[in-house]
Amino acid sequence: MAISISPSAKPRDRRRWLHCVSRAILAGIVVSILVRVTNASTQTAQVLPVTAQVQIGQQTIALEVAKTPEQRSRGLMYRTELASNRGMLFLFETTEPLSFWMKNTLIPLDIVFLKDGEVKQIATASPCHKSPCPLYSSKASVNQVLELPAGKVQELGIKIGDRLSFQEVDR
């Protein structure tokens, strides 16, 4: 029901109008709080169990493995740190050019694009704080992506053409 209030409106009509406006404002506040609570629950960092590792030179990197579409889409979002001996391996069922972005990723990362363990491309990605976020895309078709703390690729001397062998680990 629409109520219009004019300066000559009766006090009863004004009270009804104020009551409707108050309820609408209260409803808006409740919806706003619910949206924030819902978003807060999705803004937690995903932490997967370490189920793989890779030996690069003298260093062993423990890897969380993102296999499902949901795990891959969340990746390392909302992490405030990533230990220097840790990373995340993204596994894909198909081989195709892939793109990653840094939306909601709070730490800089090295992104290594691989096809069956062979390094095809390397990118260093910075956190993205506002849209639109840049894409980090492979030129070649790949089926694996390794994310490491920024600077780790250079520290370990990883180069295009290198082969990385990922091993499963017991939990």
| pLDDT on residue 34 | 42
| pLDDT on residue 40 | 40
The closest of 151, 124, 120 to 138, measured between CA atoms, is: 120
| pLDDT on residue 109 | 98
On the question of a cis peptide bond just before residue 132, with omega within 30 degrees of 0, the verdict is yes
| pLDDT on residue 37 | 38
> What pTM did the predictor assign?
0.75
In this prediction, residues 28-32 reach a mean pLDDT of: 49
The closest of 78, 71, 76, 140 to 110, measured between CA atoms, is: 76
Residue 162: pLDDT over 50? yes
Residue 95: pLDDT over 50? yes
Burial of 77 by CB count in 10 Å (0-12 exposed, 13-18 middle, 19+ buried)? Answer: middle
> Using CA atoms, how far apart are residues 50 and 171, in angstroms rounded to an integer?
7
Chain center to CA of 69: 12
pLDDT band at 12 (very low <50, low <70, confident <90, very high): confident
| pLDDT on residue 32 | 47
Residue with tokens 């619910």: 34
